[in-house]
Structure 1
């Protein structure tokens, strides 16, 4: 969400542009010559969510603090605002939520943690649960491999979005399959650590038609110095099979995150 406020109004209330903030006082505006602008996330900066009669309302407040003292009792509400999203398949505006934001999959030798982030910088992990996602919104995903064995690496073989957690074929959106990119919105981000895989894709528009959808990813763990392993084979078209498939199957991890 975005809110633009005239600086003349802020001054008329006895505040400077630098004195105002959202409900979370660390969320400050971008200050221009005549206006200030807030960029308000749906899941941060003190934004509150209310579900009622098939609609979701997000609300926040612009507050002023005397002399910038966030923790002063003299914090006054200047503007209350809300964004209401109706449950309309035609409008496609009701978000879907990722629940839970983390998925941890253990094995005998390693653990893979699966997390969502709010930007391509991968600096702020999404901790809010549920995590609501708009159709056609970019999602940033990171999978991290933890192991006492230092010479392992992680590879994304397949990621699919489906409304049925037991069927990722009938109604589904392929993000990547067999190491081959199927979704034009998919983009991978390089990491200096081969145990980290991070990528972006856009939430499919059909999520607005279901109360929940699911993201399933198949990750493969390999020895980083085994250049004949699945991790180095990249895209494998249907019909092609590696002679190493049997060896790699024991290191395949299926990770499923539910989007409600």
Structure 2
């Protein structure tokens, strides 16, 4: 996470006498220019604390003043600036399909919050993602589509759980007509296959290409 403070908002304070929660790591020192004091802070270092509730993960740290970096306590009045970054535990990853019999066209890559990434692969080896410059991809109805969702995080032991996956005939996740592929972590579409992954932040699955019935050209 990144924090920037205007020097004008901290009169009388210099970056050399400001510290994060963990002042022992030299990589966690604050930097400054003529107008701002700033830092790029890892989510799992520099004394960052992690809190969570049913909905969010919250990463908290603080900037305080000090006279000696080795001091553990003080009896002086300190400047303290608390800050945090908050991420929802759940996020939506969307991907657009436009199908014309007998093919499915994929128009663009899909991204969601908290650095979720959705990629397509040519087979169940999941070695190299299909280059987006080759989009739109062409699939024959009934052929197998290999997909991967990955959550990128610097926090150890992060686990990605795909609660639901639905398809809509238009690029609108709130569209009334949907087709459920996965619900409550369980396969709904009978052609879905879950593939083993190298770590818990990946979810790899495949299914047979389909088309919405009716006037929807998807």
- TM-score of the two chains, using structure 2 as the length reference: 0.48
Q: Over alpha carbons, which structure has the higher Rg?
A: 2
Q: Which has the higher helix share?
A: 1
**More strand per residue: 1 or 2?**
1
| TM-score, normalised relative to structure 1 | 0.41
